Amino acid sequence: MSFDNKVAIVTGAGSGFGAATARLFAARGAAVVASDINLDGAEQTAAAIEQAGGSAIAVKTDVRRSEDMQALIAAACDRFGGIDVVVNNAGLGHRAAPMHELSEADYDLVFDTNTKSIFWSVKYAVPKLIERGGGAIVNVASIGAKRPRPLGAAYNASKGAVATMTRAVAAELARHKIRVNAVCPLASETGFFKTTGIEKLSDKARERMINEVPLRRLTEPRDVANAIVFLASEQAEFLTGILLDVDGGKGI
Ligand SMILES: NC(=O)c1ccc[n+]([C@@H]2O[C@H](COP(=O)([O-])OP(=O)(O)OC[C@H]3O[C@@H](n4cnc5c(N)ncnc54)[C@H](O)[C@@H]3O)[C@@H](O)[C@H]2O)c1
């Protein structure tokens, strides 16, 4: 799976799934734009890529903001001459609570970060992908988009919107040879948990979750990175509108 001469943007690349994905694209030959609201994290990812002999820049982006997303696409095109792959990964959860206990601010933060960000990304990246003659967009949804659980309703709904947007935009963009797919990961002990108010899973909670997974572990960032890089690759040239579960079989 080669991404030589390709340019990949990864949002939320300063941590977790995004950092692993950015590094894997670089290892497969892509020039990588590591974007995050946390510039330190993005810089660490870009530095690790450069140290390994790859090519990367770090860009500070708040994916909720139109101007930031426009600037991200412009930075990628200025530095690397265009874009081929966009991974919309930046996202967060809300504190574990029933929906009627969430504030408007909780709701808006989750929807703006997880869902509106993809509107901005599509709006500004697609013209550049069309200029290149095609490309791939991979969105990070969640298993919660398909199988919501209690205490995460707004989060699950925001990812449900990501899943529907993925399929709808895939249908719109196929004529431009732009494929649009999503991954739906199961829980992973990344920075994400902190956004739900859980600093660290207790051993008991982890064991309970693992016991529900046929492959008997939680998601690792490499699982998500492998799935994203595959969906963006030429090997997936006939796949679009796919919502790929990365869940160790839990959905079965
Ligand atoms: N970890 C899980 O259990 C899990 C499961 C399913 C889906 N997801 C999704 O995976 C994606 C990546 O999460 P992760 O698990 O790697 O968590 P993470 O917290 O380790 O990484 C998320 C990154 O997104 C960045 N970010 C947050 N808000 C941003 C904003 N407004 N603009 C730009 N960057 C922003 C953070 O700074 C962080 O670096 C998210 O969309 C998340 O919803 C996570």
Token pair for 190:
């990344």
pLDDT tens digits along 20-72:
999 999 999 999 999 999 999 999 999 999 999 999 999 999 999 999 999 99
Task: Name the DSSP letter for residue 74.
Answer: H
Q: Whose CA is nearest to atom 8 of ligand 1?
A: 142
On the question of pLDDT at 198 being above 90, the answer is: no
pTM across the whole model: 0.98
Atom of ligand 1 nearest to the CA of 38: 37
Q: Is the CB of 54 under 6 A from ligand 1?
A: no
- The neighbour count for residue 194, using CB atoms within 10 Å, is 12
Helix (H) / strand (E) containing 131: helix 117-131
Q: Whose CA is nearest to atom 17 of ligand 1?
A: 192
pLDDT tens digits along 111-125:
999 999 999 999 999
| pLDDT at res. 1 | 87
DSSP-based three-state secondary structure for 37? coil
Q: Is the CB of 86 under 6 A from ligand 1?
A: no
Question: pLDDT confidence of 200, banded at 50, 70, 90?
Answer: confident
Distance 134 CA to ligand 1 centre (A): 27
The answer to whether the Cα torsion of 209, 90, 172, 30 is positive or negative is negative
On the question of pLDDT at 184 being above 90, the answer is: yes
Token pair for 80:
């690397």
| pLDDT at res. 80 | 98
The order of strands in the sheet holding 85-88 is 55-60, 31-36, 7-11, 85-88, 135-140, 178-185, 243-246
Distance 12 CA to ligand 1 centre (A): 6
Q: Is the CB of 162 under 6 A from ligand 1?
A: no
Q: Is the CB of 248 under 6 A from ligand 1?
A: no
Distance 175 CA to ligand 1 centre (A): 31
User: In the structure, how many helices (H) and strands (E) does the chain have?
Assistant: 9, 7
Report d(CA 55, CA 80) in Å as an integer. Answer: 10
The C-alpha angle with vertex 112 and arms to 108 and 117, in degrees rounded to 5, equals 175
CB distance 42 to 35 below 8 Å? yes
Q: Is the CB of 188 under 6 A from ligand 1?
A: yes
Average pLDDT, the chain: 97
Does residue 155 have an active-site annotation? yes
Report d(CA 74, CA 80) in Å as an integer. Answer: 10
Q: Whose CA is nearest to atom 3 of ligand 1?
A: 187
Q: Whose CA is nearest to atom 30 of ligand 1?
A: 62
Question: pLDDT confidence of 194, banded at 50, 70, 90?
Answer: confident
- In the chain, what are the domains? 7-246 (3.40.50.720)
Phi, psi of 18 (to 5 degrees): -65, -40
**Active-site annotation holder among 155, 180, 181, 227:** 155
In whole angstroms, what separates CA 183 from the centre of its chain? 8
